[in-house]
């Protein structure tokens, strides 16, 4: 269990890191802190004393305690000897993330940067701890995949403080709309459209879509799915869209698919659109248990063109994702921003003018989708006209 002064110390430190206390600003008095945390004066003084010793605060006799200007602390500057970039992703070792990270890390290493990897596990509290570490240590730039990008983010102040400290950052896969940051993303809405369009053009009209909607990618892919149905005049079953969040991804979609498969054949879906290949692979396990063949009995479309979709017995039709190229492009932009910051390169475009990059989706057709359109049969004994 943490000691009381550790809790007070961490809360004061968090208020510095999220920008509540600005450099040279006077912090709350001892009496105010005692009331805020419900602790003794001795506890408050112990917490402040450690923060003073660590360079977070300084005291002025008769005036109070102030937030230190950390930019002046030589312990936080690399002095040109080391160049450090932080890469934050929702996950590190899973799915397509290793490919994205390799693309970025390879480029950064070639340009003399040390890379530190962090994973939020798509959890805001983890993101907060990572951002506090980045603001506490000498990082030159940040490449970040937002956490639960479709939901309200409680850590926006940390990103604003990163901006105040003039640390360049770029977001990948998604972005926080409040910040309007430089970003490198897929055209996820168009990708979701293409997934549904592919199946509609194959004659499927009863299509189920599974979308993880606490991430912006899933919300946009669902929008494309709906738009394709509208454009082709195909009504969507109100129960034909299944949404789930990160904590539900291993259970809710599988349970929902099992229910769909228990329906009579006449009303059972003939095709499924998946948020990503990872989900498609999980759904294949349910289909095997139910003796449902892909694509003979049900067509399946993934997203991301991951290695997983190529290794299964059913090779997935999917939407291509740039993966390594996305990571490399993010690294290239961060390096350019740092060169501009340090005057090593002409600043041709500031943040307000530099353009974010959107990769366009491309359908990759393999053998997990099947046409329902019957080809016109020629008569057995055609009559030849003369």
Which tens digit of pLDDT belongs to each residue from 223-232?
999 999 999 9
Tokens of 176: 């926080």
> Mind listing the pLDDT tens digit for each residue in 105-141?
999 999 999 999 999 999 999 999 999 999 998 899 9
Instruction: Give the number of other Cβ atoms within 10 Å of residue 111's Cβ.
Output: 14
Give dist(CA 73, CA 137) in Å, integer.
11
Give dist(CA 55, CA 69) in Å, integer.
9
How does the average pLDDT of the chain come out, rounded?
90
Would you call 383 exposed, middle or buried from its count of C-beta atoms within 10 A (0-12, 13-18, 19+)?
exposed
Instruction: Give the number of other Cβ atoms within 10 Å of residue 80's Cβ.
Output: 7
**pLDDT (0 to 100) of residue 179:** 95
Give dist(CA 207, CA 195) in Å, integer.
11
Give dist(CA 153, CA 90) in Å, integer.
14
For the chain, list the domains and their CATH numbers.
4-73 (1.10.10.10), 75-186+324-359 (3.40.50.2300), 188-322 (3.40.50.2300)
Give dist(CA 365, CA 318) in Å, integer.
7
Closest CA to 88 of 12, 139, 157: 139
Closest CA to 366 of 309, 321, 322: 309
> pTM score, two decimals?
0.84
Residue ranges, the chain, pLDDT below 70: 72-82, 345-353, 375-386
């Amino acid at each position: 269990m943490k000691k009381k002064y550790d809790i007070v110390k961490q809360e004061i430190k968090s208020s510095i890191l999220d920008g509540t206390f600005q450099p040279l600003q006077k912090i709350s008095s001892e009496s105010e802190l005692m009331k805020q945390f419900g602790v003794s004066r001795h506890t408050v003084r112990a917490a402040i004393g450690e923060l003073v010793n660590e360079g977070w605060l300084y005291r002025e006799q008769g005036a109070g305690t102030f937030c230190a200007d950390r930019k002046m602390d030589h312990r936080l500057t690399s002095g040109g000897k080391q160049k450090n970039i932080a890469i934050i992703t929702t996950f590190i070792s899973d799915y397509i993330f290793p490919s994205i990270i390799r693309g970025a890390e390879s480029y950064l290493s070639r340009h003399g940067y040390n890379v530190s990897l962090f994973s939020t596990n798509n959890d805001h509290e983890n993101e907060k701890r990572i951002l506090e570490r980045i603001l506490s240590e000498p990082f030159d730039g940040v490449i970040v995949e937002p956490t639960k990008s479709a939901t309200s983010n409680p850590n926006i102040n940390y990103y604003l403080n990163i901006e105040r400290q003039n640390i360049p950052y770029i977001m990948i896969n998604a972005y926080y709309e409040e910040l309007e940051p430089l970003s490198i993303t897929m055209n996820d809405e168009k990708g979701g459209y293409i997934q549904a369009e592919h199946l509609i053009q194959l004659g499927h009209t009863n299509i189920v879509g599974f979308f993880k909607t606490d991430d912006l990618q899933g919300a946009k892919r669902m929008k494309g799915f709906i738009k394709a149905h509208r454009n082709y005049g195909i009504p969507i079953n109100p129960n034909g869209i299944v949404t789930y969040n990160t904590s539900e991804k291993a259970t809710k979609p599988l349970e929902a698919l099992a229910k769909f498969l228990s329906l009579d054949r006449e009303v059972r879906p003939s095709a499924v659109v998946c948020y990503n290949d990872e989900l498609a692979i999980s759904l294949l396990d349910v289909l095997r248990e139910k003796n449902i063949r892909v694509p003979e009995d049900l067509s399946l479309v993934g997203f991301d063109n991951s290695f997983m979709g190529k290794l299964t017995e059913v090779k997935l039709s999917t939407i291509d994702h740039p993966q390594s190229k996305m990571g490399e492009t993010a690294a290239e932009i961060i390096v350019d921003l740092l060169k501009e910051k340090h005057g090593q390169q002409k600043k041709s475009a500031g943040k307000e003018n530099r353009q974010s990059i959107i990769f366009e989706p491309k359908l990759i057709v393999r053998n997990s989708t099947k046409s329902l359109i019957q080809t016109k049969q020629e008569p057995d004994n055609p009559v030849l006209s003369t």
